[in-house]
Amino acid sequence: MHTPTAAMLVIGDEILSGRTRDSNTNFLARALTDHGIRLTEARVVADEHDRIKQAVQALSAAYDHVFTSGGIGPTHDDITADAVADAMGAPIDIRDDARAILQAHYDARGQELNAARLRMARIPAGARLIDNPISAAPGFTIGNVHVMAGVPSIFEAMVASVMPTLTGGPPMLSQSLRVVRGEGDIAEALGRLAADHPEVSIGSYPFQRDGVHGSNIVVRSQDGPAVDAVMGALVRLFPATG
Amino acid sequence: MHTPTAAMLVIGDEILSGRTRDSNTNFLARALTDHGIRLTEARVVADEHDRIKQAVQALSAAYDHVFTSGGIGPTHDDITADAVADAMGAPIDIRDDARAILQAHYDARGQELNAARLRMARIPAGARLIDNPISAAPGFTIGNVHVMAGVPSIFEAMVASVMPTLTGGPPMLSQSLRVVRGEGDIAEALGRLAADHPEVSIGSYPFQRDGVHGSNIVVRSQDGPAVDAVMGALVRLFPATG
């Protein structure tokens, strides 16, 4: 059973300067996990043509899908569509179908579809539009690259409209056990369990909260009974009353 | 005036599965911006030796500094130190200075420095230790790569101890103006202003909140008077009472 792979590419100086926190990667990660697609890498790059182009080329060659967020608005710093078109070797211009969507949207509001807004109708040749139920300006899919808005509510709506079109593998299942013992105390037994059960992935995520040290142990696999079996072994190894 | 560049490499399956949100990138971004170092790229990769190695090699060749977060604890899935050593071509083994730090820490608590905890003393040859005031297990710097813990409180303490050792450029200064008009209405004038003032970077970040549409316009430069001059022009272009 092949599990498709994906990469996220966040485009935004505001993330790299620390002004804004990216929340789109986490939203996409959860949506992909539920859909049986493995998010394998995420990158953040600045709003610069060559950096976007190079990242799109590297990621679209390495993974089954690439999702981008940011840089498709009407202002001078919105350069994602042109950079992605360049990366994919496609010509780009204002496209009639995208223009019609924008025209209807602004007509309904009595606003002008001016030159700046028309930039949002620049779509690479051969791309398929992604619906934007919030502010009309569409995203697009070209090859295996899905280009979406950076505003979280719009990004999330676009993910919701793209996801059903993608073929997922069996969903990744996970269970977790909270163990209130230091990682150093449980690591040896946990390492043996992981070595004995290569059919699941076992991660240990330490926490320190209110003076309590412990670890959340997460067991993941596409094989539900295998997850259950290892969880049973974990509970016997680290009983709550131990 | 050269502005040093940096990359962040987050190592963690738990981020890519969506289970955990990464907060370390944002913390580092703000610390670097204040210190006059430009965070130019960020990546998240899975807990896999070759993926970590390849990312470290690519980023350490491309940027002045690389900061990693995650994967330096005592459990079987903590493989960052070995992967970074491999990437940098350095041998790695338990080092006496790191072992002594751990021994003192666990002795003071009446806990055993067992084999799992000793893994945290694996430090590449030639690396400089990074102090961990919270749980003792050190990070390290090898070449231009700073290897730090994933637990946010420890990551943040390690950043605080590394940052003063790095030479920063002039800090990036920024001011922002909140404009309650749609991006499409202001884009043309804003684009002209940006073209007329290449000495600053002007970003436009749309927001939609409580039914209000607008944009935060951010002006950034290392040249304070230049930022002030463009902010003055912005306020004249988009007066609050316009």
CB-count exposure of residue B93 (10 Å: 0-12, 13-18, 19+): exposed
Q: How far is A125 from chain B (nearest CA, A)?
A: 24
Residue in B15, B188, B215 closest to A114 by CB? B188
Q: What is the mean pLDDT of residues B43-67?
A: 97
What pLDDT score does B241 carry? 62
Burial A94-128 (b: 16+ CB within 10 A, else e): ebeebbebbbebbeeeeeebeebbbbbbbbbeebe
Look at strands A139-142 and A128-130 and give their pairing: antiparallel
Neighbours of B199 (CB within 10 A): 12
Neighbours of B15 (CB within 10 A): 25
Counting every residue written for chain A, the total comes to 242
What pLDDT score does A241 carry? 61
Q: What is the mean pLDDT of residues B233-237?
A: 94
Interchain contact, B41 vs A39, CB within 8 Å: no
Q: What is the mean pLDDT of residues B187-215?
A: 91
What pLDDT score does B177 carry? 94
The pLDDT-based confidence of B1 (bands split at 50, 70, 90) is low
Task: With beta carbons less than 8 A apart as the criterion, state whether B116 and B75 touch.
Answer: yes
Q: Which two tokens stand for residue A17?
A: 């300067």
Q: How far is B45 from chain A (nearest CA, A)?
A: 5
The pLDDT-based confidence of A83 (bands split at 50, 70, 90) is very high
Q: What is the mean pLDDT of residues A164-191?
A: 92
Interchain contact, B41 vs A44, CB within 8 Å: yes
Residue in A29, A191, A215 closest to B16 by CB? A29
Average pLDDT, chain B: 94
Please report residues of B whose CB lies closer than 8 A to that of A77.
Answer: 194, 202-204
Interchain contact, A184 vs B25, CB within 8 Å: no
Q: List, for residues B89-103, the tens digit of each pLDDT value.
A: 999 999 999 999 999
What pLDDT score does B209 carry? 79
> 């420890």: which residue's tokens?
B154
Q: Which two tokens stand for residue B1?
A: 């005036």
Residue in B151, B194, B208 closest to A76 by CB? B194
Q: What is the mean pLDDT of residues B154-168?
A: 95
If we measure between CA atoms, which residue out of B15, B80, B87 comes closest to residue B54? B87
Q: Which residue of B has its CA nearest to A55?
A: B41
> Is the CB of residue B204 less than 8 Å away from at least one CB of chain A?
yes
Q: Which residue of A has its CA nearest to B106?
A: A184
Sequence-separated (6 or more) residues with CB below 8 Å from residue B32: A18, B6, B38, B39
Interchain contact, A18 vs B41, CB within 8 Å: no
Model confidence at A95: pLDDT above 70: yes
Please report residues of B whose CB lies closer than 8 A to that of A219.
Answer: none
B76, B175, B209, best to mutate vs chain A, most A CBs in 10 Å: B76
Query: Which CATH number does the domain B173-237 belong to among 3.30.70, 1.10.1740, 3.90.1200, 1.10.287?
Result: 3.30.70
Give, in degrees to the nearest 5, the angle at Cα B127 between B126 and B128.
125
Q: Which two tokens stand for residue A93?
A: 């211009």
Q: DSSP of B26-66, one letter per residue?
A: HHHHHHHHHHT-EEEEEEEE-S-HHHHHHHHHHHHHHSSEE
Residue in B42, B77, B106 closest to A203 by CB? B77
Q: What is the mean pLDDT of residues A95-121?
A: 96
How many A/B residue pairs have CB atoms within 8 Å?
A: 200
Task: With beta carbons less than 8 A apart as the criterion, state whether A144 and A66 touch.
Answer: yes
If we measure between CA atoms, which residue out of B114, B120, B183, B187 comes closest to residue B151? B120
What pLDDT score does A41 carry? 98
Task: With beta carbons less than 8 A apart as the criterion, state whether B64 and B143 touch.
Answer: no
Residue in B76, B195, B206 closest to A194 by CB? B76
Task: With beta carbons less than 8 A apart as the criterion, state whether A87 and A56 touch.
Answer: yes
Q: Give the class (CATH, top level) of B5-165.
A: alpha beta
Domain ranges of chain A: 5-165, 173-237
Sequence-separated (6 or more) residues with CB below 8 Å from residue A233: A193, A197
B8, B13, B75, best to mutate vs chain A, most A CBs in 10 Å: B75
Q: What is the mean pLDDT of residues A41-48?
A: 97
Model confidence at A31: pLDDT above 70: yes
Sequence-separated (6 or more) residues with CB below 8 Å from residue B138: B98, B101, B120, B123, B129, B130, B131, B132
The residues with which A182 forms a beta bridge, in sequence order, are: none
Residue in A18, A45, A188 closest to B30 by CB? A18
> Is the CB of residue A211 less than 8 Å away from at least one CB of chain B?
no
Neighbours of A44 (CB within 10 A): 27
Give the start-end residues of each E strand in chain A. Answer: 5-11, 38-45, 65-69, 92-94, 122-124, 128-130, 139-142, 145-148, 173-179, 201-209, 212-221
Looking at chain B, the whole-number percentage of residues with pLDDT higher than 90 is 89
B16, B111, B119, B237, best to mutate vs chain A, most A CBs in 10 Å: B16
Task: With beta carbons less than 8 A apart as the criterion, state whether A64 and A145 touch.
Answer: no
Considering only CA atoms, give the Rg of chain A: 22
Q: Do A5-165 and A173-237 fold alike per CATH? A: no
CA A10 to chain centre: 9
- CB within 8 Å of chain B, chain A residues 44-63: 44-47, 51
Interchain contact, A204 vs B29, CB within 8 Å: no
> Is the CB of residue B184 less than 8 Å away from at least one CB of chain A?
yes
Task: With beta carbons less than 8 A apart as the criterion, state whether A190 and A163 touch.
Answer: no
Please report residues of B whose CB lies closer than 8 A to that of A214.
Answer: none
Q: How far is B31 from chain A (nearest CA, A)?
A: 8
State the DSSP H helix or E strand holding residue B9, giving kind and residue range, or none if neither.
Answer: strand B5-11
Residue A39 DSSP SS3: strand
Residue in A16, A134, A218 closest to B19 by CB? A218
Interchain contact, A20 vs B114, CB within 8 Å: no
> Is the CB of residue A165 less than 8 Å away from at least one CB of chain B?
no
Q: What is the mean pLDDT of residues B33-61?
A: 97
Q: Which residue of A has its CA nearest to B203?
A: A77
The pLDDT-based confidence of A209 (bands split at 50, 70, 90) is confident
Q: Which residue of B has its CA nearest to A31?
A: B18
